[in-house]
Amino acid sequence: MRVPLMMMLGLGPTVARLKLRRCEAVGATPTVWGRVWIHGEGEIQVGDRVVFDARMAPIELHAQRGGRIVIEDDVTIEGGSSIEAQSCVTLGARSRLGMWCKLMDNMYHPVRGNRHERPQSVPLVVEEGVTVGSRSILLPGAHLQKGASVASGTVISRRIPPGVTVGGSPARVLRREVTR
Amino acid sequence: MKPALPSRDETLQMARAGLQMVRTEVFPRAERVVAVARARWLFRGFRMGRDVAAYGPVAARNDGHAELGDKLTFLGGMLPTSVVCYEHARLLVGSETQFNYGVSVEAWESVQIGDRCMFASYVRVSDRDGQRIAPIIIEDDVWVAHGAILLPGVRIGARSVVSAGSIVSQDVPPDSLAMGNPARSMSLDLVARDATGT
């Protein structure tokens, strides 16, 4: 595996901080591999020990005016995933986002009526310990509760109860957590 | 008596207003001019209408017969958009259609896209999937949402919506919402949930 030069020199967190300079708050020892494209006028908060692995494809963090992206501790985000916030997107502690994920809290165009006005946005919450597979899409109103996991390529726009694995399109429950 | 020179506060206010105007008026127009010039260069092999703007990189190639309408918009982003028209193929794009980044449109035989369509990021439109080649027709006012894939031989009716991440393998009637894998269509009048997701 290719290890970035700056990390070999022990400058990883410093370079990562430089790459995350557009964020409002960055926690301890962030890791950024590759390019993170941060734009928009909203506020982005990054917790401790967050990993952005963008070696294969860049990661997009887009917080529009008044929007907020909160990434809590120990989150791993893989390349190609993009988070767009109009109101609020929260990623809980120890959650993982696979490659090419899309998290958006606004549909941007209404299904009916004038396609060029913007519908209301609904906050998107991913609670702690959630695994989101690659190429899955979280639409506004998605609420993944603690320990849920999402198979790759799934589209979700509602609440997923804790400890449940969902997959397929349209999404359905693949497995529930066995209570002990 | 009023002093001839504006006071410090007035100067600051004027400077701020000037900066604001530059940001809201001058920059977008300059961006637009650059985008139109870039599109003219990128789509030099295409037959093209007026005011086509490419705000980001576009991988465009035309070996067949490709025609772009007026006022197209190609947004830039993480990945380049690609518009490819192979030999003896026909690619028609209507006017005022918008493409977000990462869209890939491939024509091996015939792809027609209507007016005022919207393509979100990572949409794939290709009329060849390895087994067969069949023409794709997308009528006017269609919205194809993030990451949808249109398979060969589909016809998407006017004003329809293809929802995010769906894979369309059959025709979608007009005024309907297609979702899932494989995509099922339902009339837009029957969609209870509004686009906010509540």
Mean pLDDT of B178-195: 80
Task: Kindly state the percentage of chain B with pLDDT values over 70.
Answer: 95
User: Which positions in chain A have a beta carbon within 8 angstroms of at least one beta carbon in chain B?
Assistant: 37, 57-58, 60, 80, 82, 100, 102, 104, 107, 109-112, 115, 119-122, 135-137, 139-142, 153-155, 157-158, 168-170
Look at residue A43 and tell me if it is in a domain.
yes
Look at residue B196 and tell me if it is in a domain.
no
| pLDDT of amino acid B1 | 61
Minimal-distance CA residue of chain B relative to A142 = B197
Contacts 24+ apart (CB under 8 A), A151-155: A152/A98, A153/B165, A153/B181, A154/B165, A155/B163, A155/B164, A155/B165, A155/B166, A155/B179
The pLDDT tens digits of the residues spanning B18-42 come to: 998 888 888 889 999 999 999 999 9
Look at residue A179 and tell me if it is in a domain.
no
Look at residue A80 and tell me if it is in a domain.
yes
- What is the C-alpha to C-alpha distance for residues A62 and A83, in angstroms, rounded to an integer? 6
Q: What CATH number does residue A140 fall under?
A: 2.160.10.10
Mean pLDDT of B35-55: 91
Look at residue B35 and tell me if it is in a domain.
yes
Contacting residues of A for B161, CB less than 8 Å apart: 111
Look at residue B194 and tell me if it is in a domain.
no
Domain count for chain B: 1
Q: Largest Cα–Cα distance of chain A, in whole Å? A: 56
Predicted TM-score (pTM) of the model is: 0.87
Is residue B188 scored above 90 in pLDDT?
no
Any idea what the Cα angle at residue B169 is, between residues B165 and B174, rounded to 5°?
A: 85
Look at residue A99 and tell me if it is in a domain.
yes
Residue B192: pLDDT band (50, 70, 90) is low
**For residue B96, what are the domain limits?**
8-187
Q: Under a CB-based contact definition with an 8 Å cutoff, are residues B111 and B130 in contact?
A: no
Q: What is the DSSP letter of B188?
A: G
Look at residue B141 and tell me if it is in a domain.
yes
Residue at B170: amino acid letter: Q
Higher pLDDT, B2 or A109: A109
The pLDDT tens digits of the residues spanning A5-55 come to: 777 677 788 888 888 998 889 988 899 988 999 998 899 999 999 999 998
Weakest-pLDDT range from A111-120, A159-168, B75-84: A111-120
| pLDDT of amino acid B195 | 47
The pLDDT tens digits of the residues spanning A126-178 come to: 999 999 999 999 999 899 999 999 999 999 988 999 999 999 888 888 888 76
Q: What CATH number does residue B110 fall under?
A: 2.160.10.10
Domain count for chain A: 1
Q: Under a CB-based contact definition with an 8 Å cutoff, are residues B153 and B143 in contact?
A: no
Length of chain A as a residue count: 180
Q: Does B165 touch chain A (CB under 8 A)?
A: yes
The pLDDT tens digits of the residues spanning B7-24 come to: 888 889 999 999 988 888
Residue B181: pLDDT band (50, 70, 90) is confident
- B197–A122 CB contact, under 8 Å: yes
The pLDDT tens digits of the residues spanning A99-110 come to: 999 999 988 888
**For residue A20, what are the domain limits?**
5-174
Query: Which tokens go with A135?
Result: 């190429």
Look at residue A100 and tell me if it is in a domain.
yes
| pLDDT of amino acid A179 | 58
Residue B48 has phi, psi (to 5 degrees) of -135, 145
Say how many CB pairs under 8 Å bridge A and B. 81
Task: Encode A151-173: b = buried (16+ Cβ within 10 Å), e = exposed.
Answer: bebbbbbeebeebbbbbebebee
Look at residue A113 and tell me if it is in a domain.
yes
Mean pLDDT of B116-132: 92
